[in-house]
Chain A
Amino acid sequence: MKTVAEHTERRTYTLNMGPQHPSTHGVLRVILELEGETIVDARPVVGYLHRGTEKLAESKTYQQVSPLIDRLDYLACPAYNFAYCLAVEKLLGVEVPPRAKYIRVILAELARIASHLIWLGSHAMDIGAVTVFLYTFREREITYELLEMAAGVRMHQSYFVVGGVRWDLPEGFIPKLREFLDILPSKIQEYENLLTKNKIWRMRTEGLGVLSREDAIALGATGPMLRGSGVEWDIRKAYPYSGYGEFEFDIPTGRNGDVYDRYLVRMEEMRQSRRIILQALEKLPDGPIHAMEGKLYFPDPDWVRGEHRDIAALIHQFKLVVEGFHPPKGEVYQSIEAPKGELGFYIVCDGSPKPYRLRIRLPSLMNLQTLPLLSRGHKVADLVAIIGTLDIVLGDVDK
């Protein structure tokens, strides 16, 4: 029982920034302890978008899990698919054919550009620069059209499968991609013109949400959160996967670890992604797009229902659907540099066609851990900028 004196001694004001909020980028709930307008503590409460992905994956075959993974970070679906397929391929010990590797890199980097575009748009809009939002969506629309051309839908493509990619790139894709890459630098310049030297922007973002090097490493922040604090760590360079070792690109880092630095890091990342895509387009070879044809994903439709129908191909199609391939027993962890940070899949396989355990290391969830640290001492109005700089997507936080 508190005395009256003790009651009146309490000086922080608890404010619920509830799951329904236009600036929390999803259903994020933050419980704020305020002293006037200054934040003493900001505790994020997550789980409002939890859909049981890891548990659902235990009852689906390896192929059927892909659509679940798409829906984790719904703004950069190819990247997440990429990580999952790489993990299963590592478990199987399968090497993907070169054409499929390069197609994956192209689409993953395109997803990175798309993800950063929407990050920029919503971050700027939260701080107040609503115009930027509409401009970035104009560019993002082109990425949607590109993905629609390749996979058939704008989001949740499930384009990558274990062993390769589902279909080859269609005919108009590469010209349109080149067109997009041609206009991209000028568009990025447009955004920079609006924001980078803008006094209002700098006042709102500089010095805000400073994450020191040590704190970033200690809290497990990855991606631009880590690089903005000056740590030169990118999994594409540290543990190259899927042919990234052959490409030349830089890793942008920041100096101070504040919101402004991270903004600059991400803008530069977009430019570097463009560089990677151009190199991949140069090197794109011809060839098959599946490894171990017929054993991991459906065989060529021509062999199943086309002119060159084959009973063996039909049988493989049947068994892949009804049973699925059996990876060898074992465990594997494979991580990639997703747009938001390190995305890792830990799969435990017991020899059956369904994963025994699928554990997902989500970048946004880990980055969200830094929120209390970043926001202490700042004003409530700055909280929105901090949440924006974390670049979280709630699907990525809650699974």
Chain B
Amino acid sequence: MVGPLLKGLRVTFGHLFKPAITVKYPYEKRPVAERYRGRHVLKLDEDGREKCCACGLCEAVCPAGAITLYGAEDPEFKRSDVGKIAEVYEIDYSRCIFCGYCVDACPRGAIIMTTDYELTVPGPGRGHLYKDKNWLFEKRGGE
């Protein structure tokens, strides 16, 4: 009876001399994988124009219905290289399930998921979690 108990205790005491495996977040951060599905970012192309042309595939494929999208024409091709931009592009992070289907569905590679997972918002109320185009863009919101 005592034998097995001592064996167990030996295991436990053995751990006193092994290194700790705790990662002291937020002072230490564990590196995340390359493919990590964190926050979304809308990309710009090399000329600084928006890649997103409001095709609506991400909105249609999202299983949670987190994306809202309204298109508009850009007749002078200033903000887009195809003449169509997303006038309203919102992701509701209270609904997003981070499945990554929107990234797979995008026919131009305009939306990607970054390794940013720190998405807490400053206050209560779900309004904070509706992220609009400005926040999602590469230049300002996206690092």
Q: Which residues of A contact B (CB under 8 A)?
A: 60, 63-68, 131, 138, 141, 145, 148-153, 156, 158, 166-167, 170, 190, 193-200, 298, 301, 304-305, 314, 317-318, 321-322
A-B contact pairs, 5 of them (CB 8 A): A63-B61, A152-B36, A152-B113, A198-B4, A317-B107
**In the complex the two chains form, is B63's CB within 8 Å of A67's CB?**
yes
Whether A152 contacts B104 in the complex (CB less than 8 A), given A64-B61, A194-B8, A197-B7, comes out as no
A149 touches B63 (CB 8 A): no
Beta-carbon contact of B99 and A158 below 8 Å: yes
A170 touches B34 (CB 8 A): yes
Residue total for B at the interface (Cβ-Cβ under 8 A):
33
The reply to whether A148 and B63 form a contact with Cβ atoms under 8 Å apart is no
> CA separation between A170 and B36, bound complex, in Å?
12
Is the Cβ of B108 less than 8 Å from the Cβ of A305?
Answer: yes
Q: Is B1 an interface residue (CB 8 A)?
A: yes
Residue in contact with A149 in the complex, picked from B35, B61, B104, B108, CB distance below 8 Å: B35
Tell me if A64 and B5 are in contact (CB < 8 A). no
- With A153-B98, A199-B4 given, can you name 8 additional A-B contacts, CB distance below 8 Å? A64-B61, A152-B35, A152-B36, A198-B4, A198-B5, A199-B1, A301-B104, A318-B57
Q: How far is the CB of B119 from chain A (nearest CB, A)?
A: 14
Q: Is the CB of A321 within 8 A of B105?
A: yes
Residues of B within 8 A of A314 (CB): 107
Say yes or no: B63 contacts A298, CB within 8 Å: no
Contact of B7 among A67, A167, A193, A321 (CB under 8 A): A193
Whether B63 pairs with A60 at a CB distance below 8 angstroms is yes
Question: B106 near A: Cβ within 8 Å?
Answer: yes
Set of chain A residues within 8 Å of B34, measured between Cβ atoms: 170
Residue from the list B33, B97, B105, B108 in contact with A152, Cβ < 8 A:
B33
By a CB distance below 8 angstroms, the chain A residues around B60 are 321-322
Which residue on A lies nearest to B7, using beta carbons? A193
B135 adjacent to chain A (CB < 8 Å): no
In the bound complex, CA of A298 to CA of B33 (Å): 23
Minimum CB–CB distance from B39 to chain A (whole Å) comes to 13
Query: Are B4 and A170 within 8 A (Cβ)?
Result: no
Interface check B100, CB cutoff 8 A: yes
Check B105 against A317 for contact (C-beta < 8 Å).
Answer: yes
Partner of B57, one of A63, A167, A317: A317
Measured between C-beta atoms, what is the minimum distance from B107 to chain A in Å?
6
